[in-house]
Amino acid sequence: MKRNMKVSTAVIRRLPRYYRHLSELQEAGTVRISSSALGKSMGLTASQIRQDLFCFGEFGQQGYGYKVDSLKEEIGEILGISRGHTVIVLGTGNLGRAIIHNFRFSANGFQLLAAFDVNPQVAGTRVGGVPVWHTDRLEEFLAAHPVSVGMLTVPIAAAQEMGDRLVNAGVKGIWNFTNREISFDQKDVVVESVHFSDSLLALSYMISQREDRSRREGEEPQL
């Protein structure tokens, strides 16, 4: 049970990091870990971790730390991993195919039901074992299959239109890889946009800052 109904976006963004890191610790055979050790391995402070988890209840025991498997399960429940969410992919170009083949949907609590494409030569085939439907049959499929999330890997020009079709058919979550901002009038629809260029430019900034700092330090007179 959440202790606070209002949880900051920053905390929510860290929860998947906790889950992923705890999964790695579990695979490595770690049974118990302190907040200090967990924070050190994640680049966070022990205080930050305790504050984040306190938003959702009591975890761990003072002096004993956290039981890795239990904490992972609790965070998984908070993230909704066991709720049986479903997802479909719109667009089976290079990016769509790469994600279908390589992303572990099931490990993150999602069942990948189908993919859709406008190419009639692709419709009726399978990609990574996933059936591909023609986009013309999207509403037909959604009427028969409850879908939690629609993943957009379509061309930029088609992003808003395909998103509208998903939302109008009752899909409440949009995972947007099109590099275009999309929005909807429906207040209960959640859009998560993934911009690869944003991540790369942020990396460019950090590299540039380090290069500039190193250059300045090299130009300082030696006393």
Q: What is the pLDDT of residues 118-139, one digit of tens each?
A: 999 999 999 999 999 999 999 9
Which tokens go with 5?
Answer: 């109904």
User: Do the strands 130-134 and 126-127 form a parallel or antiparallel pair, or are they unpaired?
Assistant: antiparallel
Q: What percent of the chain has pLDDT over 70?
A: 94
User: Is 9-77 in CATH node 1.10.10.10?
Assistant: yes
CB 139 within 8 A of CB 165: yes
Residues 196-214, mean pLDDT to the nearest whole number:
93
Tell whether the model's pLDDT for residue 193 goes beyond 80: yes
Phi, psi of 89 (to 5 degrees): -110, 125
Q: What residue spans of the chain are helical by DSSP H?
A: 9-27, 35-42, 46-54, 68-79, 94-102, 138-144, 159-168, 196-219
Tell whether the model's pLDDT for residue 219 goes beyond 80: no
pLDDT of residue 215: 85
Cα atoms in the 13 Å half-sphere on the side-chain side of 162: 30
- Summarised one tens digit per residue, pLDDT across range 26-50 is 999 999 999 999 999 999 999 999 9
Spans of all domains in the chain: 9-77, 85-197
Could you tell me how many helices (H) and strands (E) the chain has, helices first?
A: 8, 9
CB 125 within 8 A of CB 136: no
What is the amino acid identity at position 134? Answer: H
Burial of residue 162 (CB within 10 Å: 0-12, 13-18, 19+) is: buried
pLDDT of residue 142: 98
CB 158 within 8 A of CB 166: no
Q: In this structure, which CATH number among 1.10.3470.10, 3.30.420.40, 3.40.50.720, 3.90.230.10 belongs to the domain 85-197?
A: 3.40.50.720
Which tokens go with 156?
Answer: 């930029």
pTM to 2 decimal places: 0.84
CB 11 within 8 A of CB 74: no
Q: What percent of the chain has pLDDT over 90?
A: 83
